[in-house]
Amino acid sequence: MGVKSGAEAHRARTSANGPYSGELSKSLAYMPRPVREFVIEAGGMASLLLRVVWSAVAHPRGYWSDTVDHLHTTIRKSWFPVVVAVLGFSMFMALLTTVFFQMVGAEQLTGPTLFVYMLRNFSMWTISMVSAGVVGAAITADIGSRKVREELDAMQVLGIDPVRELAVPRVVSVALFTAILTIPAAYMTLFSLQLGTLYVAGLHPADFYEGTFGSVLPVDLISLVINGLLVGLLIGTICCYKGFAASGGSMGLGKAVNQAVVICFVAIFVFLIGYQAVLIAFFPEYGFQL
């Protein structure tokens, strides 16, 4: 076995984390270290997402049993934190907003205004935060522990693709989980807002539901489910990537889990802003309802 040259070692270190080769690999050496690390991680996550999507679509058999198992485990571990978070934050927002609208004599607008806002932004944000903190951390810890114990190397020696075997079922299960959870979250948000307006402003439930349902468009519900699906793909990809890239023993694994959750928070925040902007661009009436 020959000794690798310096250039070969540099290419091996670079290609291990990001989808860069040739001139792109050389250009990374001229970037400042923080920028280079960001580009490598972003490219690695994008490459992993493409591999997961291609594997799931091109070969749609063989991973659904594991996906159902992971989905069952995800729902069992996460349904209670999601319910508490959605109900609690919705009730808190309902009380504050109702008091404000009551001060200006427009408490009848509380339901339509707040429900549309929370349906498009706040509820999805709450679901994604809980999913990233509970489900995403578990995914990174599971895959990262396998990486630290060198199980991934053993799988490759046996001819098993770790992305197909580990990443695809987990990413698909998280995407399905966040997409499925959007509709119950909408009902929980509606129930919390109705209780808040009834308790603070004494608004009759019939008036509340009449104004609220009149302000919701069909594109709201469709975009909510699609939003949940895309957010789940984002969370699953980031957390799987950080698990695959974990190193340095138990301390490195802990750092990888922490970094995965933080990156998910920032990425989801940026994604939701862009998602709403695209929706308003394609559906102008969607923006007029904000």
Mean pLDDT, all residues of the chain: 82
- Provide the 10 A C-beta neighbour count for residue 94: 26
- pLDDT digit string, tens, across residues 84-107: 888 888 888 878 887 887 787 777
Over the Cα atoms of the chain, what is R_g? 22
Rounded to an integer, what distance in angstroms lies between the CA atom of residue 99 and that of residue 256?
A: 43
Q: How confident is the model at residue 23 (pLDDT cuts 50, 70, 90)?
A: low
Is residue 178 exposed (0-12), middle (13-18) or buried (19+ Cβ within 10 Å)?
Answer: buried
- Of the two residues 198 and 286, the one the predictor is more confident about is 198
pLDDT over 80 at 61, yes or no: yes
Asked if 134 and 236 touch (Cβ cutoff 8 Å), the reply is: no
- Provide the 10 A C-beta neighbour count for residue 214: 9
**Is 15 part of a structural domain of the chain?**
no
Helices (H), the chain: 6-15, 23-28, 33-58, 64-103, 110-117, 123-130, 137-148, 151-157, 162, 168-200, 205-215, 218-244, 249-282, 284-288
**Is 267 part of a structural domain of the chain?**
yes
**Is 9 part of a structural domain of the chain?**
no
pLDDT of residue 215: 77
**Is 4 part of a structural domain of the chain?**
no
Asked if 198 and 108 touch (Cβ cutoff 8 Å), the reply is: no
**Is 13 part of a structural domain of the chain?**
no
pTM given for the model:
0.83
**Is 26 part of a structural domain of the chain?**
no
pLDDT of residue 2: 45
pLDDT of residue 259: 92
SS3 at position 280: helix
How many structural domains are present in the chain? 1
Asked if 279 and 286 touch (Cβ cutoff 8 Å), the reply is: yes
Q: What is the 3-state secondary structure (H, E, C) of 91-123?
A: HHHHHHHHHHHHHCCCHHHHHHHHHHHHHHHHH
Q: How confident is the model at residue 287 (pLDDT cuts 50, 70, 90)?
A: low
Q: Which structural domain, as residue segments, surrounds residue 237?
A: 31-288
pLDDT over 50 at 68, yes or no: yes
**Is 3 part of a structural domain of the chain?**
no
Q: Return the closest-CA partner of residue 58 out of 179, 168, 155.
A: 168
**Is 6 part of a structural domain of the chain?**
no
Rounded to an integer, what distance in angstroms lies between the CA atom of residue 258 and that of residue 133?
A: 9
